[in-house]
């Protein structure tokens, strides 16, 4: 059986409001030492809300790190000890002004495991009911209703470029064939 890598040293470099950064030194099974920069991030959720007319409610919002706007599924970080289900309902209410009476977990995925600890829980939300909450201070969101049959085209032609949105939409699309 292959030996597991062993952590030799862990150094905290930065503690922020959204991310922390640490540098790990690891002894690999081949005997070499390797250094890994690790961004620590809370778990998160992403939700594909679909209305009674089979429109996906996406959000268009400014993303400062890329210097532009993206078309995305509603998403956000868990506020511990908040459960993923509760976080999904809160994010729906904050970002699109609806809650879901039929919230279905689709699974989950690591957003970028080469350097980040963020795990994202994916959901499908149906049977939407009005239930607006105040948006976060750093969000300026425009809701866009998109027919579900247009989603593959929007992904293919680069209108949707956000990986968590693409992954969750693809997880959802097979349910509508």
CA distances from 7 to 28, 34, 90, 94 (A): 9, 10, 37, 40
CA–CA dist 119, 122 (Å, integer): 10
Check: CB of residue 108 under 8 Å from CB of residue 121: yes
Give the three-class secondary structure for 60.
strand
Task: Retrieve residue 69's tokens.
Answer: 């706007």
CB atoms within 10 A of CB 1: 3
Residues taking part in catalysis: 137
């Amino acid at each position: 059986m292959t030996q597991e890598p062993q952590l030799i040293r862990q150094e905290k470099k930065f503690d922020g409001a959204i991310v922390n950064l640490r540098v790990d030194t690891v002894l690999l099974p081949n005997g070499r030492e390797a250094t890994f920069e690790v961004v620590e991030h809370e778990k998160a959720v992403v939700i594909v809300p679909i209305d009674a007319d089979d429109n996906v409610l996406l959000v268009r919002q400014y993303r400062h790190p890329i210097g532009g706007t993206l078309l995305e599924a509603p998403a956000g970080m868990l506020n511990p000890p908040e459960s993923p289900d509760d976080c999904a309902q809160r994010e729906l209410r904050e970002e699109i002004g609806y809650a879901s009476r039929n919230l279905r977990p689709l699974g989950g995925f690591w957003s970028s495991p080469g350097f980040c600890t963020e795990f994202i829980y994916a959901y499908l939300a149906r049977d939407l009911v009005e239930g607006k909450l105040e948006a976060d201070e750093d969000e300026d969101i425009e809701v866009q209703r998109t027919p579900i049959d247009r989603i593959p085209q929007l992904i293919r032609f680069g209108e949707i470029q956000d990986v968590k949105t693409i992954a969750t939409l693809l997880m959802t699309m097979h349910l509508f064939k």
